[in-house]
Amino acid sequence: MSIRNISFVQGEYYHIYNRGNSKQKIFHDKEDYERFIGLIYACNQNGSLRSDELEKDQGLLDVFRAEIIVRIGAYCLMPNHFHILITEVEENGISRFVQKFTTAYVMYYNKKYKRTGSLFEGKFKARHSDSDVYLKYLFSYINLNPVKLIQSDWKEKGIKDKEKVIKFLNDYKYSSFLDYLDVQRVQNKILDRNYFPKYFPNKESFVEEIFDWINYEK
């Protein structure tokens, strides 16, 4: 059994993540991504989802929520893993939140793909963001994660085709990147940006930060 050697404290920030067993895919199509995103929103509450609510897809982003238990600053879904930048509202909120949305997603996934057993690689992983420098870095790290889908070695060798990367990020719907560009979409409601340091008070400052990474030359 995997052991997570970290304690969650209200008011602190954490990078949580997990991947599929043996690095297997956990998202295969648009429906899978949208279900997971909907569950991130709908499961962030003290209350429980009804069975009929769990059958919804995009409708999960419109469910009525009781008091929320975490606040989310950034997220990204990749074919075989996910990243979330998070802080607790209530004690034990992070663990309860992750348990709720991952359990609901596994139920959906196993039913859809006619399988049984665990989907994720043990307990979710977590890292405490214990400095301003690291916390600011996480916003870029998480939102730029999809770049690996078109150039896996970009961090080591620098980005080869900057225009291609920018277009790809602007078309990628399964992260919070578009929310920081102030694109109006229903997924905006997942984030609670006011409860995180205002490193990016406007989209121009976010774009400047992202372009610093994209233009980084090895």
pLDDT of 149-185, one tens digit each?
A: 999 999 888 898 999 999 999 999 999 999 999 999 9
**What integer pLDDT is reported at residue 49 of this predicted model?**
73
For residues 111 and 91, give the distance between their C-alpha atoms in angstroms, rounded to a whole number: 32
For residues 95 and 88, give the distance between their C-alpha atoms in angstroms, rounded to a whole number: 9
Q: What is the dihedral of CA 90, 42, 85, 130, to 10 degrees?
A: 0
Domain segments of the chain as ranges: 13-214
Instruction: Categorize the per-residue pLDDT at 53 as very low, low, confident or very high, splitting at 50, 70 and 90.
Output: low
> Is 57 a residue whose pLDDT tops 60?
no
- Third-level CATH fold of 13-214: Alpha-Beta Plaits (3.30.70)
Better pLDDT: 141 or 2: 141
CB 184 within 8 A of CB 178: no
Q: Which two tokens stand for residue 146?
A: 């999809």
Instruction: Categorize the per-residue pLDDT at 218 as very low, low, confident or very high, splitting at 50, 70 and 90.
Output: low
**What integer pLDDT is reported at residue 216 of this predicted model?**
64
Instruction: Categorize the per-residue pLDDT at 115 as very low, low, confident or very high, splitting at 50, 70 and 90.
Output: very high
**What percentage of residues in the chain have a pLDDT greater than 70?**
92
**What integer pLDDT is reported at residue 157 of this predicted model?**
86
Nearest CA to 69 out of 39, 96, 38 is that of 96
Phi, psi of 118 (to 5 degrees): -75, 155
For residues 87 and 70, give the distance between their C-alpha atoms in angstroms, rounded to a whole number: 6
> Is 2 a residue whose pLDDT tops 50?
no
Which residue type is seen at 94?
Answer: I
For residues 148 and 153, give the distance between their C-alpha atoms in angstroms, rounded to a whole number: 7
CB 119 within 8 A of CB 26: yes
**What integer pLDDT is reported at residue 6 of this predicted model?**
84
What mean pLDDT do residues 23-47 have? 95
Lowest mean pLDDT among 48-52, 119-123, 159-163, 194-198: 48-52
**What integer pLDDT is reported at residue 13 of this predicted model?**
98
> Across all residues in the chain, what is the average pLDDT?
91
Confidence (pTM) = 0.94
The alpha carbon of 113 is separated from its chain's Cα centroid by a whole number of angstroms, namely 23
